[in-house]
Each structure stands twice: as structure tokens, then as C-alpha cells.
Structure 1
Amino acid sequence: MGILLHASAGTEHSLSARVLVGRSGSCLLRLQAGVVSGEHAILSWTGAGWELRDLGSSNGTWLGARRLGAGERADVREGDEIGFGTRQDRWQLIDDGPPGALARPVQGGPPARAEGGMLALPSAESPECVALEVSEGLWILETDSAQEPVVDQQLVPAGGVLWRLYLPVALPRTTQSDLEVASPLVPALHFAVSRDEEYVELTVRDGERATRLKPRTFHYMLLTLARIREQDSEASARERGWIYIDELAVKLGVDARTINVYVMRARQQLGDAGVPPAALIERRPGARLRMGSLPVTVASL
């Protein structure tokens, strides 16, 4: 993740995809020095690296020993030093990796940060909506009742608060003629269930690699969703396996809010094992969900 270090204070500032720098209250990196303009400069992720642009500031933006012209853009690399209004108050890019997704309350407060390609709002412990990265730089916003595309800088209400999303942009694509396209392996799920169904083992198989996951309560929810999809095999692929959240909650003996927490935790654990979060569970308007179209096997312990 991109990180700026304030040399004199020793503080670090993690970078979202687009960081407005200045004294204005609208700036993500807000500086108090009088030599800094209201909207002084922008530091942004281009998809290939970090870029600094001066916004016509009164006292200039410095990259190393060079002052940028008004509106000039310049690439910034790890180790480069930046000055806003003066060379003496230095910031250094100490990590030039791509930005991580985050959301900030519009009225101020601590940000929420994405983990494993998922940004839960207002928190992972009480998710009302989740932004999911479905492919590099492309995100959807998921609620109980819908999935829809979401973009950088979009405003999203959650937990009684209005949040602004800061989402990384997509990397430039290599044209298909320039590379040999290989079909990615689809992870498979293997459930092993005790006769009384009190114990469930879950293994993720990705090619020749098999990862047995630590037992979790939500594994039985995944098993239930897999069974519903299998039992619904005569339906079309589009209609197969859907269930209302309230109905699933009754089956599992929990409330609907717990189902959302289970989904979040399942995506986190299986995401660490190589299962794309958006592929594990799918949602549909009307508060319905289903297991994604992953290969599934079920055996007895």
C-alpha cells in the first residue's frame, strides 16, 4: 500500500487512489502551514505507479530538488521526497505499492479499510453493505437486496453515516494478442460431515494444493447452501440454488443479521485460501443469496 512519511513528525499517511493535498477541509491530506494552498496538489495512482500533480499552488510543489510547474505531472517512486509549499517540510514515499480500498465518513472520523478484497461498512462485525473487488480495479457494492457496480469517490450510506469510497483504479490491460491466455483454475470445496451433522470439515482444493480450514460455525451454512444448489439441479443455471436470507436463518436457527456476519467471515477465511469473495456467495434483489458456481463435493466422516 502507498505510504507517505512526514519526515519531521515521523507520522505515516496511507494513500487511497486519489489524495488531494492542501489546507482546505476537503483535502484528504490536510496541512496547516501557511505556505500551503487550499488545494495544493494531487497524488494519485495511475494503475502503474504514483503520480504527483501541482494544482497551480502559490508556493509550488517540490519533487526532490525540482519544483513542478503549475499543472505539471511527475512520477513518484519509493524513496522520493516531496515538499508542499517548501522544500524544508519533507514528505517521503516509503512504500510505492498500489493503494488499498478504504472509506471515510463524510463528516469525519476513522476510516474503514478493505481486507482481502472486501470493504465492509460500517464495520466487518456489523456489515450493512460490502464493496467487493470482482476483478482487478472493478468493484461491486453488495447489500441484502442487491449487487451493483460502485466506483471511486462514490457516496454510500451505512450505519447512519454517509461514507465516501476510495477505490483503486484498474491496471492497464495487456492486449490479448500480446499474451497467451490461460484459463484460471477454479477452486473446489470439499465438505466432510459427521453423521449427526455436528461437525463439518472444509477443504479448499486449488489445483494440486489442498488447504484444510480451521473449523468454523459458518461452515455449516456453506454446506447448507451447497446442498440447496445441488437439490435445485433441475432449475436453470441462473435460477439454481437461491434462498431468502430469512428462510436460511430459520434453517440454521439464527437471525438474519447473523447470516450477514457468517457471509463476511466465510469470505474472509476462504479468501485467504484462494477463493474469490464474490465467487463464494452471490446475492440477488429481494434478500436472496446462494452458493456460487464452485465445484463442491460432500462426504461422510
Structure 2
Amino acid sequence: MAQLIHSTQHQILYLHNNHTLGRDTCTNITALNAPAASRNHAIIAWDGAHWKIKDISKNGTFVNRLPIKTGCFHTLHLQDHIQFGDLSADTWEVADLAPPITCLAPLVNGLPVIELFDIEIINTGNTELMIYLDERGQWQCDDGQSPMPLADGDRVGANGQFWAFLDTRAATATQTFEAARSADDVIFHFSASSNEEHVSLKIDMNNTTVDLGERNHHYLLLLLAKQRLEDTRKGLPDHDQGWVNKDVLCHMMGMIEQHINIQIHRFRKQVAAVMPQSPLQQIIERRPGELRIAHRQLTIKGGFQQLQGAQTSVNA
């Protein structure tokens, strides 16, 4: 994600997709201490392809010691130096121009940036926080007592470990959707015992087979894969395939919704460990009250509703 670094204090500024800067702490994401800075001084925004800065101040914004035109967006480049108000003001260097991501940006030095896809569990000492996207598309933070909805810029954490929630879905929604839909070269191969108490999974991707072995959380994916295969056989259109009611899924697995979220989290972590650059982070798609497996090429060997270990597969 895009970053500015303070030239002397080495403070890292993680950019929101529409990042405001100025002296007024109530109306800006980043407060400027420069005496010549205006109450609302500048905006740095992602336009879908580039990061750009716009001056809205009285005293000007300088990039590489040259003033930019007030009221107009100016494209930023790596290692650009930015000053707000005058040339004696603190300098910020453009250190990263990656597209915005929905994430937890650290507010404490030494903590990592945590990208958010579907579910993330954070351990902060004796407090465990679950950050997850509910079926309405709302990010929630659950501390084990009650979930709280998250808004862009909210502070998340405990015990001296704190992050800012950055919700950049408006800037990346199309990109994320296309990434999930373009992974048609990914094939899931499930192998289940006759009672489905043991489920193994292999994934073919980029001409490579990755054996993820047997894990408890593979059973959740198996149930969702079976529903998608069944709906494909019925000839349902893609957008209607594979959806399973959340309450039905909880009953089938004998789990509450929070534990199902933990299963999804464990699978995502497992994939990230062995295939960090894979498109499988968003393995689960959601709509109100329902879940489904995001991928369409699936094979199942063994398990219930299979005859003598026969294999079922669909390449939709």
C-alpha cells in the first residue's frame, strides 16, 4: 500500500484512498504541524491507476521544492518530496505507490500491515480479536463479547498493539472482483473418507500441484464444493451456483457462525503460508445469509453420495 515517510522522524504514513491533510484534526486524516499549513491543506487520492495530490491551501503545496497548481491533481512518483505550506516545512518522501488495500495499518512501530480479505484473527496479549466481513459487506471487530462495525479510520487493538482500519473497497472493488473471477486455472481436488471425517485437499495452479494434506477446515470447503457441483449439474447460472444458507451450514457442521469464520481464517492462513502470491485469499464469497466457495473447478473423490469411491468433477 502507498506510504509517505517523514524525512527526519521516519514516521510512516499509510495512505487512505482519499487521504486529507491539514492542521484541523477534526476534518483531516493526517494532522499537519507546519505553521504555514492551512486547516484543510491537501488531498492525496487514488484515481484507479495513479496516486495524485491536490493542493487546496492558501500557502501552497510543494513537490520536489516546486509549487503545484492549486485545485488541480498532480501525479506522484516514487521518491518525490512533499512539503506543505512553505519550503521550510517538514518533508515527506513518497516511499511506496502500491494501490490501496483494505487493511489494518499499524499505529505502533514494529507492528505489521495486516491485509484484510475475509477473516483475520489478531492476538494482542490476552485479547483475541476477530476482524471479519459479514454477509452485508460490513467489516466487524469481535472481541468475543459482541461484534462492533468498523468504519474507515477506526482504531483497532488492545494491550499496546493498535492499528487503524483502512477501508479502501470503493477504490479496489472492481479489481478484487476481477481477480477472484479470473482464477479459472485453479482446480480443487478433494479426497474424503466414506464418513467424511477425513478430508484431504490438493490444488492445481499454474501447472503446479500443492498438497495441503488433511485438515479439519477442509470439511467446510468440501460441503461448499458439493453444493456448487450439484448446482452446476442442475444447470443453474454461475451467479446462482453453490450458495448455502449460513444457518444450514452451521447445523451441518455443528458449529456456531464464529467457529465457521475461524475455519475460513485457518484455510486462508494455510494457503498464504505455502502460496503467498496465490489468488486464493478470497476463497469464500458472501451474500446476505449465504456463503459459497468462490472457485468453480472442483473434483471430489469419496465421501457421502459417492459410489465406491467414484470421482465427481465439474469444470464450469
The two structures have a TM-score, normalised by structure 1, of 0.72
Q: CA deviation at 1:214?
A: 5.5
Once the two structures are superposed, residues 194-237 of structure 1 have per-residue CA deviations (whole angstroms, 9 ceiling, x without a partner) of: 45544322111124121222543211111122233445566442
User: Is residue 210 of structure 2 the alignment partner of residue 211 of structure 1?
Assistant: yes
CA distance in 1, matches of 2:286, 2:96: 36
Aligned residues: 263
Could you say which residue in structure 1 is the equivalent of 2:306? none
Percent identity over paired residues = 26
Equivalent residues in 2 for 1:177-256, closer than 5 Å: 185-195=184-194, 197-213=196-212, 215-231=214-230, 235-238=234-237, 240-256=241-257
Write the letter of the residue equivalent to 2:60.
G
- Alignment equivalent of 1:166, drawn from 165, 168, 191: 168
Alignment of 1:263-274 (within 5 A): 263-267=264-268, 269-270=270-271, 272=276, 274=278
Displacement after TM superposition at 1:122 (Å): 9.8
Q: 1:250: Cα distance to partner?
A: 2.3
Over 3 Å counting, the alpha-carbon distance change for 1:90 and 1:297 in structure 2 is: same
Unmatched segments (≥5 aa) in structure 2:
123-127, 142-146, 153-166, 176-181, 303-308, 310-316
Q: Deviations over 1:44-75 (max 9, x none)?
A: 223332212110x2322111121223224322
- Offset of 1:22 from its aligned partner? 0.6
1:297 alignment partner, SS class: strand
Counterpart for residue 97 of structure 1: 98
- In the alignment, the residues of structure 1 paired with residue 280 and residue 213 of structure 2 have an alpha-carbon distance, to the nearest angstrom, of 18
Task: Indicate the RMSD between aligned Cα atoms, in angstroms.
Answer: 3.7
**Counterpart in 2 of 1:283?**
286
Residue of structure 1 in register with 2:2 after alignment: 2
Q: Which deviates further from its counterpart, 212-221 or 28-37?
A: 212-221
**Alpha-carbon distance between aligned partners in 1 of 2:3 and 2:228, rounded to the nearest angstrom:** 44
**Could you tell me the TM-score, scaled by structure 2's length?**
0.69
Match of 1:150 in 2: none
Decide whether the 8 Å contact of 1:3 with 1:13 is kept in 2: yes
Say if 1:86 and 1:119 are closer, same or farther in 2 by CA, change over 3 A.
Answer: farther
* Distance in 1 of aligned mates of 2:222 and 2:101: 32
Give distance in 2, aligned partners of 1:82 and 1:42: 12
Instruction: For 1:3 and 1:73, locate their aligned partners in 2 and report how far apart those are by CA, in whole Å.
Output: 18
Offset of 1:20 from its aligned partner? 0.6
Partner AA of 2:244 in structure 1: I
**Structure having the larger proportion of residues in helix:** 2
Per-residue CA deviations over 1:93-136 (Å, capped at 9, x if unaligned) read 112222222479xxx99xx9662x61659979534x52xxxxxx
Unmatched segments (≥5 aa) in structure 1:
131-142, 148-154, 174-182
Equivalence for 2:12: 12
